[in-house]
Structure 1
Amino acid sequence: MTAPLSRRMFLALGATVVVAACSSSEEGKSSGSTEVASTAPATSLVPPSDLPSDPFTLGVASGDPDTESVVLWTRLAIDALNGGAMPDEDIDVLWEMSTTESFDEITIAGIATASPQYGHSIHVIAAPANVTGLLHYRFRLGDYTSPIGTTRLSPSSDSLEPVKIASASCQNWTAGFYTAYHDMAELAPDLVLFLGDYIYEGGVGSLDAGAVRLHNSDEIRDLVAYRNRYGLYKSDPLLQAAHQMCPWVVTWDDHEVENNYANLTPEDPADNAGHTARRAAAYQAWWEHMPVRFDPPVDENLTIYRQVQWGGLVNMLVLDTRQYRDDQACNDAVLQTTPACDDALLPERTLLGAEQEAWVAANIRGVDKVWNVLANQTVMTDIRLGAAVLNFDQWDGYAPDRDRVLTDITEQGVENLIVLTGDIHLSGIGQLTTTANPTTAVGIEFVTTSISSGGNVPPETQGLLKALSNIIDAEASHRGYTLHTITPETWTAQYRIVDDAKVENSGVSDWKTFTVTAGTAAVAEV
């Protein structure tokens, strides 16, 4: 609905149109902070402020680009580790976008309202008209100006210009430094895909136990604590720089709430009573800190699965494999080599939930793009040892759902299926198969290692991993990310690994590079 303009906003915006994407409060102002704007203003007045210090301590970010608009994000926080230390009132902020870093000419601008209800976060959907190429943006309040971010829109739907997408996941603050992001910025991707575990919920940690830096509190469970934890992570200059360099597409995994939760079932049954409220707080804090294109949650639910397309090359379905899943089967045993319990193979078991599964089927077919991509949290490749499931949290623990998804994709004649995955803290390449046809690949999975989180798989088992029939290759010792270069002819995955994420400014180099040729479901090392 359209938000009424105050006199100050009217004078500042001139011809700008601002449409609130959230519901209105009793006073008629937006109660959320996602706003849609288009058309350049005739003039832009910076809202006054008497704040005692810089509120842009968490930097800026952009995300979820399409051909007409992109989300711009910031959050006002003078003291991000202690609730933000902001006045308990709505605060107007000027945002500006330009084709030049000097902002000599303003392409589009507007006023966004930061509300204490949402931690003074701001989500603006900026729609610059008739603009291609790089765009620069910033936020201004009183005498304070945010860092400048760089973003872009998705190219036109018929564009086949190559695109570079970096996939990343799992950045435990205590486990290592964010060196991978410095390297990522130097290689300048067009888009970053973050596949979950942006924060970790655990306690302070211990330097004596191997932590390289400490969390700011005990295990987090309420909204203020989740906000403070995001404040800690987003204080990292390398992470801030990575957000400033290009738009991101972000999904979550488990640690944004707690380890291995499943829908409304916590990891520990003793936490059942408070889990719904905890999930609601965690989901709100996640929304407050991500550059995403949807309204804030009103309870413990938030639909985040969505479709992102890039030119004529990429049709990406961003999945949510946490919110709707059945509880992990067989007591969520790990590395169990005996046959799985009967529950694991119940045909009704689901990782995606019925609605999301139907959405995948509807949005992966009949799309005129070269590559069809599932952006996914946990390993989809079948790595079962006969009847044994090594990890019930992964798709192996939900094999009937995997079979339904992959069989439907195959029967629809969908080609060039790529699955991008995080979670497991190793680099891996797998071929996707179904239980009914275990020797025929229907797509390729590229698993990116963690940014900083410690290895889940002992390096000495690397040989056993590579011996599995569906694993093309694997590297379990290093942290890093994967840079994907996509053209109409090939999908190339360049695995970048950090020498030692526990050492600041450690070196970064290639592990290996793999290529898939369009029209095939085969991958080869370059």
Structure 2
Amino acid sequence: MASRRVFLQRLLQLSSLAALSQAFPGYAAERSQAYPFTLGVASGSPRADSIILWTRLLADPLSPVPLAPIPLKVIWEIAEDEQFRQIAAKGEITALPELAHSVHAEATGLKPGRWYWYRFMHGDAISPIGRTRTTPEADSMSNCKVALASCQHWEFGEFAAHRHIAAAHPDLVVFNGDYIYEWGPYDLKHPAQARRRDIESFSLSEYRARYAQYKSDQQLQAAHLAAPWLVTWDDHEIANDYANDRDERLDPRFIDRRAAAYQAFYEHMPVRLHQPVPRGNEFAALRIYDRCDWGRLIRFHILDARQYRSYQACTPNQRGGSSMVTPAACSDLRDPTRTMLGHEQEQWLTRGLSKSTARWNTIVQQTLMAQCRRHNTLNSATNTAEYKIWTDGWDGYPMARQRLLQSLQIAKAQNPVVWSGDVHTFYAASLRADFQRPVSADNPVLGAEYCVSSVTSNSMPQEETDQLVQHNPHLHFGRSDTRGFIIADISENRMQIQMMALQDVSKADSGVSVLKTFITEDGRPGVQTV
């Protein structure tokens, strides 16, 4: 698995310029001795008149050695044609060693609702050509095709999903967390390493190396070349099950680790900053939540459910992170002050929903929002049914979830749909303010939720998922035995969701097929099976 990727990476380097002239001795070196665009290029955070263009200059993705510890001069161009005869915008930018020679160029003055092609140049080296597009003009109702993906652990499979995403020619790719895993690299072929958690990223250089490893994958690069991305993070870009400024280890220095991980995320993603470029530990407060309007058809509300959340409820002694608890035995779950998004982001979301004129309001966030009771058993002492919930998901923040769902009712935003990931399982669910009561006039279905499986990461046995669907009637569908992605085709009248399943995640040339198709119709909240 990994050897195939190494071979392809070496082939890429050999097919590129073998050597360039000596580095220019000025402030920003104009040339490098090795081909610098081995991590590919990407675009993201589209607007009607602008787009963020990204690359990082690095000679070898599998070596942490930078090109040079000096600033490097980079030229970028964006054109209306693939041959670059009609240049729409261009500029010069300095790739700083303090930011791992990453580049975030904002191309402005573009036309709404059209495709563009872009590239970078450093000396005689020319990057791959990426394809991107702007969002439509404000009143447009033009259709949109979106690929949704999540959770790609390098060691657990090939990134074949991204080849199929590129082949689908989406208008947007939405990635809602766990782009990297902080565990690794390790070799699953050796049993002693199969469950290693001691090989883990803690420092900025280690996170950078992990991103470079992932971005060396040619199929992932292809998905970035195909369309602009909207991205957010979950826990594994930083540390498993972290909450706010606390990790599982209760490490008193965790905020330093979070700053390093957030900086590496910024250095490797085509994201638009809402603040001046941070320095050092200032990255610990990097804002990632954002909105993107696709004309008047869709408003994407892209959330951060990690940085601002309350600590998980009822954690075991001397440890942070998640656990399985019986709600009756965990009074913290009923604390109305606990939050998943932080109160400032909650208010930001409510305002965005209230002011939205979009036909569809799509909430992009990390983990399953619908209630998911587990392990129903009978308490012989009380003769009552008991169940457990997982405290890292929305079940662990029921009051915050109730506030969010009630805000959907109050805001009266059209057609709210939640897109989720994290749990490595395809789910389709109907959302309502009170999951304990049946649907009624005062407890209506408020929206649909579609949860994407993982690109590679493992999940629970299908038998357990079948039990969850059986015990939670608002879960209409669940499949944990396959990896894949979602293709969403959105028009004025409906959102069609195709759950795409890989045939074999261990094979780079895996085929793909439609596992299940659902639709949500305009003005008719909830999930309908096709």
* Partners of 1:318 and 1:403 in 2: CA distance: 19
Give the secondary structure class of the aligned counterpart of 1:102. Answer: coil
Matched residue SS, 2:103: strand
Label 1:48 to 1:404 Cα distance change in 2 as closer, same or farther (>3 A): closer
The residue that corresponds to 1:524 in the other structure is 528
2:333 corresponds, among 344, 358, 363, to: 344
Quote the residue 1:279 is aligned against.
258
Give me the whole-angstrom Cα distance separating, in 1, the residues matched to 2:121 and 2:195: 32
Q: What pairs with 1:249-264 in structure 2 (closer than 5 Å)?
A: 249-264=230-245
Residue in structure 1 matched with residue 481 of structure 2 by the alignment = 477
The CA distance in 2 between the partners of 1:211 and 1:372, in whole Å, is 47
The structural deviation recorded for 1:334 is 4.4
Q: Would you say the 8 A contact 1:172–1:200 is kept in 2?
A: yes
8 Å CA contact retained: 1:514, 1:524: yes
Residues 71-150 of structure 1 mapped to structure 2, 5 A cutoff: 71-130=52-111, 132-150=113-131
1:461 aligns with 2:468: no
> C-alpha distance in 1, partners of 2:297/2:309?
30
Cα deviation for residue 276 of structure 1 reads 0.9
Indicate yes or no: 2:450 matched with 1:446.
yes
Distance (whole Å) between structure 2 residues aligned to residue 245 and residue 451 of structure 1: 17
Match of 1:320 among 299, 304, 307: 304
Q: How does 1:501-520 map to 2 (within 5 A)?
A: 501-520=505-524
Q: Deviations over 1:267-321 (max 9, x none)?
A: 122xx12211100000000000000010433321111111111111111110000
After alignment, is 279-288 or 383-392 more displaced?
383-392
Distance change >3 Å, CA 104–CA 212, structure 1 → 2? farther
Please give the alpha-carbon distance, in whole angstroms, between the structure 2 residues aligned to 1:138 and 1:112.
Answer: 13
Q: What's the counterpart of residue 133 of structure 2?
A: 152
Question: 2-side partners of 1:70 and 1:340: how far apart?
Answer: 49
1:302 to 286, 300, 303: 286
2:267 to 288, 299, 315: 288
Q: Per-residue deviation at 1:412?
A: 2.3
Check the 8 A contact 1:76/1:121 in 2, yes or no: yes
Residues in 1 aligned to 2:310 and 2:61: alpha-carbon distance in whole angstroms: 35
Supply the AA of the counterpart residue of 1:204.
Answer: P
What is aligned with 2:370?
381
SS in 2 for 1:512: strand
The aligned amino acid for 1:125 is: E
Q: Structure 1 regions of 5+ residues with no counterpart?
A: 1-28, 30-46
TM-score when normalising by structure 1: 0.87
Does the 8 Å CA contact 2:43/2:224 hold for their aligned counterparts? yes
Corresponding position of 1:432? 431
Distance 1:435 1:360, change over 3 A: same
Which position in structure 2 is the counterpart of 1:9?
Answer: none
Partner of 1:197: 178
Q: Give the corresponding residue for 2:17.
A: none
User: Given that residues 29 and 70 in structure 2 are in contact (C-alpha distance below 8 angstroms), is that contact kept between their aligned partners in structure 1?
Assistant: no
Unaligned runs of 5+ in 2: 1-26, 316-320, 375-384, 439-443
How much identity, in percent, do the aligned residues show? Answer: 39
Residue 384 of structure 1 aligns with an amino acid whose one-letter code is R
- Kept in 2: contact 1:176–1:212 (CA 8 A): no
Which residue of the other structure, out of 335, 342, 345, is the alignment partner of 1:356?
Answer: 345
Q: Is the Cα–Cα contact under 8 Å of residues 166 and 222 in structure 2 kept in the other structure?
A: yes
RMSD: 2.2
- Shift, 1:184, TM fit: 1.1
The answer to which of 475-484 and 288-297 deviates more is: 288-297
Which residue number corresponds to residue 20 of structure 1?
none
- Could you tell me how far apart the structure 2 residues matched to 1:212 and 1:187 are? 36
Residue 327 of structure 1 deviates from its aligned partner by 1.0
Provide the residue aligned with 1:34 in structure 2: none
2 CA distance for matches of 1:119 and 1:136?
25
* Deviation string, structure 1 residues 13-37 (Cα, Å, up to 9, x no partner): xxxxxxxxxxxxxxxx9xxxxxxxx
Q: Secondary structure at the match of 1:202?
A: coil
Q: Residue type of the partner of 1:219? A: E
Distance 1:106-1:261 versus aligned 2 partners, 3 A rule: same
| Shift in CA distance, 333/78, structure 1 to aligned 2, threshold 3 Å | closer
Which residue matches 2:500? 496
Following superposition, the deviation at residue 392 of structure 1 comes to 0.8
1:228 is matched with which residue: 205, 209, 217?
209
Q: Specify the code of the residue in structure 1 equivalent to 2:466.
A: G
Equivalent residue number for residue 4 of structure 1:
none
Over 3 Å counting, the alpha-carbon distance change for 1:333 and 1:340 in structure 2 is farther
Mapped to 1, the partners of 2:110 and 2:228 lie a distance apart of 18
Cα deviations across residues 474-496 of structure 1 (Å, max 9, x unaligned)?
11100000000000100110000
State how many pairs are aligned: 477
Aligned-pair distance for 1:212? 12
Larger deviation: 173-182 or 217-226? 217-226
User: 1:42 is matched with which residue?
Assistant: none
Deviations along 1:105-145, whole A, 9 cap, x unmatched? 32211101111111110001101444652100000111100
| More divergent stretch after superposition (366-375 vs 462-471) | 462-471
State the match for 2:153 in structure 1.
172
- Structure 1, residues 438-487: CA drift from partner, whole Å, max 9, x if none? 433111100000011111x2211132122111101111100000000000
